[in-house]
Amino acid sequence: MPEQHPTDDARVALAEAWLAQDPDPETREELSGILDAVRAGDGAAAAELADRFDTRLAFGTAGLRGEIAAGPNRMNRVLVSQAAAGLAAYLLEQAAPGETPSVVIGYDGRKNSAVFARDSAEIMSGAGVRAVLLPRLLPTPVTAFAVRHLGLSAGVMVTASHNPPNDNGYKVYLGGDHGGSQIVSPADAEIAAHILRVAESALVPELPRGDYETADESVVDAYVAATAQAAGGAPAAQPKVAYTAMHGVGWETTAKVLAAAGFDRPTLVAAQIEPDPAFPTVAFPNPEEPGAMDLAFATAREAGAELIVANDPDADRLAIAIPDETAAEGYRRLTGNEVGLLLGWQAAERAVAAATGDGGPEGTLACSIVSSPGLETVARHHGLEFRATLTGFKWISRAPHLVFGFEEALGYLVNPGTVRDKDGISAAVAFLGLAAELKAAGRTIADHLDDFVERFGCFASAQVSIRVTDLARIGEVMARLRANPPAEVGGIRVERIEDLAEGGELPPSDVLRIVLAGGGRVMVRPSGTEPKLKVYIDAVSDEGTVAERRAAATAAAAALEAGMRELVA
């Protein structure tokens, strides 16, 4: 049967009921204006009301994320309160007899983050869960760390990471046997069911509220001390670094970690160093986006920096740029795959150095299926295990015996004993440790990239990202590729297409893997956090000189990119 939607009159009634329980004057005023327009016969306002009230913002393995506005299909105090009550009910249900479940709640500098965090702490406490609020706005990795460090049942981080300014989100971690990793199925569906029951049976003003604890600075101090160890020892040299927090919350904690690890204070991108929910100097607060690092490039040029380090707004991602005379800005941002392969190589060598006895090194290198296959080559070369997972650190962090994991979208897990999620601060410290070691030997990151190609081959990557306004378009493209699979892409023969929706070695996922002649690979999937169709392209060459390998792999990746743009247009 076709999905049933409310009538306009029913939507108005739903919106009026929503208004009655919304504690936020801003979203109440906004929704009241829409209702007035609907009653006056405004068709656009009626469509807006339908978009907000015909469905709910889905709670999944990424938690909640969306635009701040009124209605169940937006982020707001009503939705967050219902989510907090639903999560509390889940934790109480999972608790052993006589056990009081517990949660730590962190928040970043985005609009309403602190309000959403306090609402969550009060409501979860009122439900019978011990709630601990972090002392101030802090990076996401500190929350992930606190779940394990404090031995709590769960963690909540209020953040939308690198989404547009008016978005916010709600990320959930589980302690205990989950080790502080993000939620995966079936926990996501079970929590979602509890949230829906709350929404259907309780009004937000009637939810009991209680007192919560506020964590002291010892939690942050413990994170700083543990994270500084990612450098691998005192730096043998001091790289000249420029740093940007991208208007986020990364700098205060990063500064403490760098000092504890023995690094000099970097040159700061002053206009972007303090938290600002408006993100005034960037069109999109994501280091991957064109133009986002322009101020960092300018600062680095003035300072003569040898390295640029950038965190995204909640500091769980890391971007690196290095000097490049061929680039217009004088610097080139490394791809997530390039940084991931260098950090993976570093982790593998550390595992080899730490090995004792005759058994050889132990541990696993892991990356998502859309990240560079070069990590598997590194793992095999060093006698380590390798694991490819579904996208997201909720999966990467659960790889057995993990020593390093990464995802091409600038996410790196370098210290799984400390944080079971991507961590842009620990990754930055690990990368600075590598840069210091190379500088002491008279070498650069660019030299080290050449060394990687010489030892392991060149793994070139490219990406096609199509942002849509109509999510149905993504489904149409995926269906077309399944119904009419291509025989070639960019002139390169397709050997086979693997549909990961059918399951197999991984849980079923809406992903197509196109395997090509010559070792190339294309992955196609909908984004899990944004309205995008994403295409990930990898090509490899291990024949000839470093320059020849790089030219061959880059040309193949470019041909595949052009071919995929035609296929998904």
* DSSP bridge partners of 459: 540
| Beta strand segments in 313-371, E | 318-323, 331-333, 364-368
Q: Would you give the distance in Å from CA 390 to the centre of its chain?
A: 13
- Confirm whether 161 is a catalytic residue: yes
Burial 12-29 (b: 16+ CB within 10 A, else e): bebbeebbebbebeebbe
Asked if omega into 416 is within 30° of 0 (cis), the reply is no
d(CA 407, CA 528): 14
Phi-psi category of 336—alpha, beta or left, where left has phi over 0 and alpha has psi -120 to 50?
Answer: alpha
Q: Which of 161, 181, 368, 372 is catalytic?
A: 161
In eight-state DSSP terms, residue 60 is B
| Beta strand segments in 193-335, E | 213-214, 241-244, 267-268, 307-311, 318-323, 331-333
In eight-state DSSP terms, residue 54 is S
Q: Please work out, in degrees rounded to the nearest 5, the angle formed at the alpha carbon of residue 489 by the alpha carbons of 486 and 490.
A: 150
d(CA 185, CA 196): 17
Which tokens sit at 302?
């003035």
Answer for the pair 183, 153: CB distance below 8 angstroms, yes or no. no
Distance linking the first and last C-alpha atoms of the chain: 31
Q: Going by C-beta distance under 8 Å and a sequence separation of 6 or more, which residues neighbour residue 507?
A: 185, 390
Answer for the pair 123, 207: CB distance below 8 angstroms, yes or no. yes
d(CA 380, CA 365): 10
Answer for the pair 108, 189: CB distance below 8 angstroms, yes or no. no
Positions marked catalytic: 161
